[in-house]
Structure formats: C-alpha cells, structure tokens
Structure 1
C-alpha cells in the first residue's frame, strides 16, 4: 500500500484507441466496457481509494478502508490511499485530480462518499476518464460506478430486535441528513420493530451531517428525554453509541461494535463491504462493470450479529427466522405501508421496487420527528 501525497504539478491523459494504436500490444491491455465507453487499463491497473476521514477512524472510514484493502489483496491489485479529504469541494477536486495524474495516473478510484460526486463529474468534464465508484445508486455521471449494500435489510433485523426489547415502545434514531439512504434505513428499522411490537414509535432527530459529534450527542440526549429506551443511528461515527453507553441507555451498533464494557449494546448491523469491492474489482479486471452494485443478505453481505448477553435465545431465533425470510423473497417493504400523512404508499401484498427504493423520500407511519 502506497501513501499518495504531494503538491507538484500533475497531468494524466488516457485513451483506449490511442493506447492500442501507439503501443500495439493488445495483450497488455484490458478494455473496460461501461455503457458506450471503452477505457484502456494497464495489465496491472492502479486503484485509488479516497476517504473523507482517517482510515483508522472507527465507523464508516475504517470499515471501508479495511474492505477495499481486503478485496484488493484477494484480486491482486495495489491500492493508493488519500484520506482526510474533507467535504470541501476544492479539496475533493484536488484529491481526485491527483489520483488521476499521480505517477502516470490511476485507472479506477473508489471514493467512499456520495458527496464526492461533483468532483468526479468535474474530473470527467475536464478530460479525465478515470472511473470513480461512488456510494450512491442513482448512477449520475458518465464516469460513475454506483454501489452500496442493502443496509436497510440489516436495519429491519435490528428493528425486530428493538421491538422485542423496548419497554417504553419509543426508540430513538439519530440520522445524518434527509436522503434516500437514511430514509430506507429508518423505514426498514420501524417496519421491523412493528413486526414484534405493533404500537412502537421510532423518534428521529437529524444531526445535519455524517460526522457532527456535538449535534449527534445532543440529538441522543433529546431522544432519551423523550422517553426512548433504545438508541440507533445512521452516522459515520460512534458518537451516539458513546453517549448511550455513558448514560445507561441500550443501543444498536452500526458498521462495527462500539468498544465498551457497559453491556448496553444489543447487536451490530454488519456490512461486508469487502464483498462489494471484490465484486467490483473482479468485474473491472474482467472488462465490464455492472450497471450497479447493490448486494445484501442474499449474498451474505449484510446481517445482524454480535448479540450481547442481554439478547435472549428466543429473540435471536426470531431474528434468524426473519433473516431467512428475507433471503427467500428479498423484501422488507411489503404492503400495506402508509406514510406519516396516512397516504397508502405500498398496497397490500405489493413489494416496493428497487427503483422506488433508490429514490425513497417518504417516511412510514410510526416515524415521528419530535
């Protein structure tokens, strides 16, 4: 693994046709066909990884760094990392441009935040055709490779457990911002909880960002004051879990277990990001990307694990039953489902399509915003 830093002037231009004509060595070139583009890739392509935080930061950044490196080792490619790329547009532009040009340029870069989409598009518009994988499913941008995991399936299982565990019937959920990813997770968590406790309510507060320590802990405190006896979160950090552990409140982990001896953590929504990245990298080396990478329980990429001693064998068994059901039919959004305004969004017996899930912008009845 090589660190990528430096400020010297850089330039990189890559064209499949020109490379084949000039070098005339077809055996040393892989062609990547995505939509109508053909991109020449060297026999040993260079892969970039861009993180907005540190590779060792607990939560999102550490999980993705580890996943990419595991996948890269299995397929036999090297990864160059730029981390601590903030959500500053100029910084993102600089980091992607550097990867496109550094030491002859990278063939493919994984950028682990949807907020880097604008930088990826600017890179393409500026004449660089380096493909950039982004964790967003709308596929915007000619050089975008969309990916994610079906995180909502794990959140549904977490909801099953929370519904079995809550005493107050009020569960707190600290979310980053209003977007389809968060909406899917909140709704799935609620639907799971309603399966085991129909009168349950999920109270949601938005922290306003993926990493906002003070706002996350303030939101957690306000939810506990509202009577929530379990906290869940959809953040890139472990701040909500830290608050819960320090204040004697049960919680659910997202991405990785929160390191504590409190015993208050119930279970962890687990994501195998390495499986997504391995599929992506293998397809790249074979010469063709899929239109989208979105895998879940059916591929063993998502689940609920790390159960604490607080969770009974009966509760674990119920979670396993629901997990098997998802494996068989893949849906946690089966109607009837009404939204918070009482509008029927999914008819009885119908399943919400992937297209609808990708653009989800409504919350299910039972979600509250105190």
Structure 2
C-alpha cells in the first residue's frame, strides 16, 4: 500500500504539508458490498434535530479489523463518527489495492455517500479517479499526497510517539541492541525508525537499532520470523512498523521486551510490552464530518500530532520504572507544547554526514521525503 520512492519524492515539489504512507498489505479478497453499521437514531430524536443534516460516511480498510493494529485503530475512529447525531457509517475491510479498491470506492460513491475515507496508500489513485467522477462528494485519503478540490490527504505525526517509545526502549535495554521489524523502505517507515533511534540514543548513546525489512504490511508469520532473526543477534527489545502483534509475541516467547504499533498490544504480550506508538483517529474523523456537514471543509494536506490528540503512546507496562516514565512524560509534554521538535539538529546520517545542522529543525518537506537513516541505525535503507 505504499509508494515507490520516485512517486513519494514528488512531495518535495508540492511545497505544502503532505502525508506519507500507512496501512496493511491485504491477504483476503475484498467484499463486494459495504458492511453497514448504522447508528440507531430514535425517530423522536431525529424529529427534534431537524436542522442536523443526515450524513452517510464510508470507510475502506486494507486489512481485517480484528482486535488490534492499523485497521482496528481506524475503525475505532469510525465508531466515534457513528455515534454522532444523524450519521450512518459503513465500511469494507480487507480490500486489496488496485482494481478491487476502485470498485469498492465507486460502489460507495454511486450510493451517494457524503464522505468516503480510504485508509491505505495504495488507494490514492483509485480514490482520486472516483473523486473526479463525483465532484459533489467528499473524499479523504490517508497517507498519500495527491489532492483535488473534493479530495484531501491526511495522516498523523506518529514519529513523535515513536521518539517517545524509543526513549523507553533505550532505557530498558541491557544489550544495547534494539530490533526493528519494518515493512517497506519508504519515507514514512524510515522516518519512524529514525525517530525511534533518536529517542533511544537521547537516553542511551550506546544503543544500536538493527532493522529487518519484511516487505509486507500484514503477514503475522513473516513479521514473527523477522522479530526472531533480530532476537537471534542479541536484540532484547523488539519494535515494529507492522500491523499484527506477532513481533510482540516473539519477544515474549524469548523473554525480551517489545514496543508495539497502531494500538496498545499489551494483551498479546503482557510480560513483554513496554508501550506502543498508537493512533486515535476519532478527533480527526469527527472534525471532518462536522465541518463537511457545515460546509466548512476545505481540501488540503492534514498532518496532526500529539497536540491534536491523534497520536500518543500506550500505557506503560508495569515493568517500566517510575523514573523512566517521568523522563518520557516530561519529553512528551515538551513535544506536545511545541517546545521540543524531534528532528532538531545536529543530526548525521549513517555515514556520519551532517543532514540537519545544529539548532535547525527539519522542515516537513525533508521529513516527508526522508530516505536516509540516522546514526545508530544498522541496516540498509533499501
């Protein structure tokens, strides 16, 4: 569901805040029709709220919703939308990118859904195509960079949360070897690895972060094998940019620690899970629906962060000492207030070349086109 480097680097030419990829590679065939989950609205409530415009909102997911991970996080946001007065929501899960996704998006558009959210990078072009055919509907695409008059792009500054989880990992490691099971070598993932590494080395300069690429967004077996390979070289904390909790489970089986992603994965590895970089899509989705209903929504690139409540870290595992929690919480407050920027120089790349000068803060176009690893990362960026 992600972009090729050449395509993503076009962000640098856009000159506006863009978004990078997110999501899961699908393993199941797409459903032919949306599953509707309608929020029941008593007749008397509807009558009393005649001024509230009814809205039909659709969501397209690339992986199964399940009980953790990327699509699950988006669906929690959908449920917040479904709870809004006068709003009906529908979704289709496990939709492969390409022709299948275009068919599902088109099906929603033909049913006159007021708003359609497509949550995988690989849905970008199909969404843009359908948006062009239905100019009176509103489309929002997660993680891409293309927009139209009736299509926005959106994502979140999850790298802020990844920095904080890196701090936790850096404090908890004994071997100073951190493992990172990562999906594809594209800027979103590389940016996250770099932020995690910067956080870890801020509290433990001796740390090295070893990266293994899985070349998949959602494949529990492959993700688990990647984690095992990292454990085999001495990693005692496993982090991930993957959708399933399989790396967490691998870490617990070996008596190592782990850092999750997308949602709180404590339940899958309670003895291992330190924390996780997590999504909270509800503030964004409910804001969009409210503004579209009021005629106030404008197409743009949206990149919210800790300050807006769209990203955060999961509760700490009970094994995380109070002094570590206090340290990370203090930095979290600084990031949230804007007093601290994650990518503040001096920052060198793997070769020792200065990429961000001392005192400088990397602008968004640099972050969005990031294809190089920071010092402390062990592994290829390809």
Query: How many residues are matched?
Result: 331
Q: Which has the larger radius of gyration?
A: 1
- Alignment partner of 1:128 is 2:138: no
Match of 2:239 among 227, 232, 236: 232
- Which shifted more, 356-365 or 153-162? 356-365
The worse-fitting range, judged by mean Cα deviation, of 188-197 and 241-250 is 241-250
Shift of 1:6: 4.6
Instruction: Write the distance in 2 (CA, Å) between the matches of 1:121 and 1:220.
Output: 36
Segment drifting more, 328-337 vs 133-142: 133-142
Per the alignment, residue 17 of structure 2 pairs with none
1:48/1:81 contact within 8 Å kept: yes
Contact 2:164 2:328 in 1 (8 A): yes
Q: 1:231-250 deviations in whole A, cap 9, x for unaligned?
A: 00011221211221222221
C-alpha RMSD over aligned residues: 2.2
Q: How far 1:145 sits from its partner (Å)? A: 1.3
Determine if the alignment matches structure 1 residue 92 to structure 2 residue 108: no
Secondary structure, counterpart of 1:74 in structure 2: coil
For 1:191 and 1:343, the matched residues in 2 are separated by: 16
TM-aligned CA deviation for residue 137 of structure 1: 4.9
- Contact 1:331 1:351 (C-alpha < 8 Å) held by counterparts: yes
Distance 1:302 1:227 in 2: 30
- Label 1:93 to 1:57 Cα distance change in 2 as closer, same or farther (>3 A): farther
Q: Which residue in 1 is equivalent to 2:368? A: 358
Residue 272 of structure 2 corresponds to which residue in structure 1?
Answer: 264
Determine if the alignment matches structure 1 residue 217 to structure 2 residue 224: yes
Partner of 1:252: 259
Q: Which structure 2 residue ranges, 5 or more long, are not aligned?
A: 1-30, 35-49
Structure 2 counterpart SS, 1:350? coil
Q: Does the CA contact (< 8 Å) of 1:297 and 1:303 recur in 2?
A: yes
Distance 1:56 1:212, change over 3 A: closer
Secondary structure at 2:108's aligned position in 1?
helix
Segments of 5+ residues of structure 1 without an aligned counterpart are: 8-27, 30-41
Which has the bigger relative contact order, CA under 8 A and spacing at least 6? Answer: 2
Looking at structure 1, the residues matched to 255 and 83 of structure 2 have their Cα atoms a distance apart, in angstroms, of: 41
Q: Give me the whole-angstrom Cα distance separating, in 2, the residues matched to 1:73 and 1:359.
A: 37
Q: For 1:53, what is the secondary structure of its paired residue?
A: coil
- Output the TM-score relative to the length of structure 2: 0.81
